[in-house]
């Protein structure tokens, strides 16, 4: 036993030192590369445009769009579930039925028109883009739009539609009349993906946007009524009331492009980060139900944001040294910035100067 004690002590000391070293390791402080450009990322927090007052006019977005275009992002990521993830979730309807209904467009009409299911369409889009000409013909853009639709990527299909001259926005080359009508409807749909991201991508000469949302953390809740009541009760707090007053005042005055930029400036101001936490996730963390419903909610929220950040990171890596614009619901902004800032060659750029 006497001979074992020194070895045990050494092992304990080594374990303590290793734990201390591991705790001290912060990848976000180890930035690189030493030579060459880093990846610049702006995370733009947005209200969901579908929830703005009926009087809001999409034309009021033009000043915001001009500011974003002036930053010249090479990648635009949006809060949408990708076609491949929706295809995955459809294999598990017992878990994801509600999420599929809420977040996944059914590409069956595009599959019927093109003969391509989601995996085949995803591969075909990659093949087309790998050999994409500098000046594609309208028929090529219509074909790529049809393939994107078959792959469940509606926003990217809209990018191709918007890049067509108005006279060429018609059926053909895989787009039947119903799909052409769908793309026309998307053009005016009150959604940040269709009114901000896709037009911006088209104006910048990009061929697609990146769907980076993730709902694989979604799961059925055994007692939805009790869960909903507990979370709603947690949200009834002074920070939540203050946040609602601020946001309601901003939403009530969106008459001019300057008003819209002011709304985005407020949503992306650093001081809003703590208010978002205190009103929502921080309150849920302390929610007192015996089932710890608030903890389950925070688990879902953090997992979703981590997976969103991973999807964005993968997209960033396709263009090392480039600029990426992430357009996402405002509550996600601060989590995504914190997670992405842990990446070695990512630099988070403040959106504030663009919104002044």
Q: What is the mean pLDDT of each run of 10 residues along the chain (356 residues)?
A: 54 55 82 95 97 94 98 98 98 97 97 98 98 98 98 98 98 98 97 98 98 97 96 97 96 95 97 97 97 97 98 96 98 98 97 95
- In this predicted structure, what is the pLDDT of residue 170? 97
- In this predicted structure, what is the pLDDT of residue 15? 57
Residues 172 and 296 placed together within one structural domain of the fold = no
φ, ψ dihedrals at 158, nearest 5°? -65, -35
Residues 267 and 295 placed together within one structural domain of the fold = yes
- In this predicted structure, what is the pLDDT of residue 205? 98
Does the residue 7 lie in any domain?
no
Residues 315 and 281 placed together within one structural domain of the fold = yes
Residues 152 and 253 placed together within one structural domain of the fold = no
What's this model's pTM, rounded to 2 decimal places? Answer: 0.93
Residues 242 and 154 placed together within one structural domain of the fold = no
Residues 287 and 175 placed together within one structural domain of the fold = no
Residues 174 and 267 placed together within one structural domain of the fold = no
Domain boundary among the residues 213, 248, 281 is at: 213
Residue 107 Cα to chain centre, angstroms: 20
Residues 79 and 209 placed together within one structural domain of the fold = yes
Distance CA 23, CA 12 (A): 16
Residues 198 and 302 placed together within one structural domain of the fold = no
- In this predicted structure, what is the pLDDT of residue 3? 56
Does the residue 9 lie in any domain?
no
Residues 95 and 182 placed together within one structural domain of the fold = yes
Residues 206 and 253 placed together within one structural domain of the fold = no
Does the residue 21 lie in any domain?
no
- In this predicted structure, what is the pLDDT of residue 20? 54
Distance CA 274, CA 265 (A): 16
Residues 172 and 291 placed together within one structural domain of the fold = no
- 177 close to 128: Cβ distance less than 8 angstroms: no
Does the residue 159 lie in any domain?
yes
Domain boundary among the residues 188, 213, 238 is at: 213
Strand-pair partners of 346: 39
Domain count, the chain: 2
Does the residue 36 lie in any domain?
no
How many other C-beta atoms can be found within 10 angstroms of the C-beta atom of residue 326? 29
Residues 346-351: contacts with CB within 8 Å, 24+ apart?
Answer: 346/38, 346/39, 346/41, 346/313, 346/316, 347/31, 347/38, 347/39, 347/40, 347/41, 348/41, 348/42, 348/43, 349/40, 349/41, 349/42, 350/42, 351/42, 351/43, 351/44, 351/45, 351/264, 351/268
Residue numbers of the domain that contains 326: 229-355
Domain boundary among the residues 213, 242, 277 is at: 213
| 269 burial level (CB within 10 Å; 0-12, 13-18, 19+) | middle
Would you say how long the chain is, in residues? 356
Does the residue 109 lie in any domain?
yes
Compute the CA torsion angle 238, 242, 247, 248 (nearest 10 deg). Answer: 90
- Six token digits for residue 109: 């009409």
Torsion-angle region of residue 205: left (phi > 0), alpha (psi -120 to 50) or beta? left
- In this predicted structure, what is the pLDDT of residue 17? 55
Strand-pair partners of 45: 328
Does the residue 69 lie in any domain?
no
Does the residue 295 lie in any domain?
yes
- In this predicted structure, what is the pLDDT of residue 24? 84
């Amino acid at each position: 036993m006497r001979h074992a004690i020194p070895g045990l002590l050494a092992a304990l000391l080594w374990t303590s030192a290793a734990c201390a070293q591991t705790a001290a390791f912060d990848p976000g402080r180890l930035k690189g590369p030493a030579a060459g450009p880093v990846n610049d990322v702006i995370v733009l927090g947005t209200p969901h445009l579908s929830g703005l007052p009926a009087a809001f006019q999409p034309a009021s977005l033009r000043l915001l769009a001009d500011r974003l275009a002036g930053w010249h992002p090479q990648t635009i990521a949006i809060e949408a579930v990708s076609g491949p993830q929706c295809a995955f979730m459809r294999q598990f309807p017992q878990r994801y039925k509600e999420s599929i209904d809420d977040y996944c467009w059914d590409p069956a009409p595009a599959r019927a028109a093109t003969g391509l299911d989601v995996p085949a369409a995803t591969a075909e889009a990659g093949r087309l883009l790998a050999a994409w000409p500098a000046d594609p013909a309208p028929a090529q853009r219509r074909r790529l739009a049809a393939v994107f639709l078959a792959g469940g990527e509606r926003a990217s299909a809209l990018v191709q539609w918007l890049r067509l001259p108005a006279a060429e926005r018609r059926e053909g080359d895989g787009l039947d009349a119903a799909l052409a009508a769908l793309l026309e409807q998307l053009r005016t749909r009150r959604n940040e993906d269709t009114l901000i991201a896709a037009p911006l991508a088209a104006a910048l000469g990009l061929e697609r946007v990146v769907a980076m949302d993730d709902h694989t953390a979604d799961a059925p809740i055994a007692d939805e009524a009790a869960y909903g009541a507990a979370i709603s009760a947690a949200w009834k707090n002074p920070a939540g009331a203050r946040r609602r007053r601020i946001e309601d005042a901003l939403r009530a005055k969106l008459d001019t492009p300057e008003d819209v930029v002011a709304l985005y400036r407020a949503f992306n101001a650093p001081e809003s980060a703590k208010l978002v936490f205190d009103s929502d996730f921080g309150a849920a963390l302390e929610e007192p139900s015996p089932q710890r419903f608030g903890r389950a909610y925070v688990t879902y929220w953090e997992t979703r944001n981590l997976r969103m950040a991973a999807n964005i990171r993968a997209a960033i890596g396709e263009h090392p040294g480039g600029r990426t614009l992430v357009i996402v619901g405002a509550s996600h902004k601060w989590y995504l910035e914190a997670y992405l800032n842990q990446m070695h060659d990512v630099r988070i750029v403040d959106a504030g100067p663009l919104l002044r």
